[in-house]
């Protein structure tokens, strides 16, 4: 099970945002079942029309730290969360060894074995 730390900056803690982050962490565990730690920072900038930024720091089983940052600000906090986790997932997949089956290839292998 992954240890998740969620920090809110410039905004109050939001239970529904925390729940959305937890769901995304569960999805990442399909990519790396031994994901050790996930740190998420949700920031509200209070400037301009797009005030939310989300940073994700992962410590996967390979030991290398994966950081999804420098993403554009988003008007909706849930869009910012999903954008950050999609980037984190791509970075995590790029660090897996080539022989490690991804969720899609594992599914394809199961389907082809049945036929």
Both tokens assigned to 114: 């049945």
**pTM for the whole structure:** 0.77
Which letter does DSSP use for residue 97 in this model? -
74 — pLDDT class (breaks 50, 70, 90): confident
More confident residue, 23 or 64: 23
Phi and psi at 34, nearest 5°, equal -105, 25
Q: What is the pLDDT of residue 4?
A: 93
Which letter does DSSP use for residue 99 in this model? T
Per-residue pLDDT tens digits for 15-49: 999 999 999 999 998 888 888 899 999 988 766 55
Going from N- to C-terminal start, the domains of the chain cover 3-114
- Which superfamily does CATH assign the domain made up of 3-114 to? Ribosome hibernation promotion factor-like (3.30.160.100)
- Bridge-based pairing state of the strands 37-44 and 3-9: parallel
C-alpha dihedral sign at 104, 105, 107, 108: positive
Please, are residues 28 and 38 in contact by the beta-carbon 8 Å criterion?
yes
């Amino acid at each position: 099970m992954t240890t998740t730390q969620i920090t809110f900056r410039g905004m109050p803690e939001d239970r529904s945002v925390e729940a959305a982050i937890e769901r995304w962490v569960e999805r990442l565990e399909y990519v790396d079942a031994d994901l050790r730690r996930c740190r998420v920072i949700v920031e509200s900038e209070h400037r301009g029309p797009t005030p939310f930024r989300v940073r994700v720091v992962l410590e996967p089983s390979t030991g290398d730290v994966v950081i999804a940052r420098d993403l554009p600000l988003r008007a909706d906090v849930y869009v910012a969360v999903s954008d950050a986790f999609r980037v984190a997932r791509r970075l995590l997949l790029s660090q897996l060894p080539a022989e490690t089956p991804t969720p899609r290839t594992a599914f394809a292998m199961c389907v082809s074995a049945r036929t």
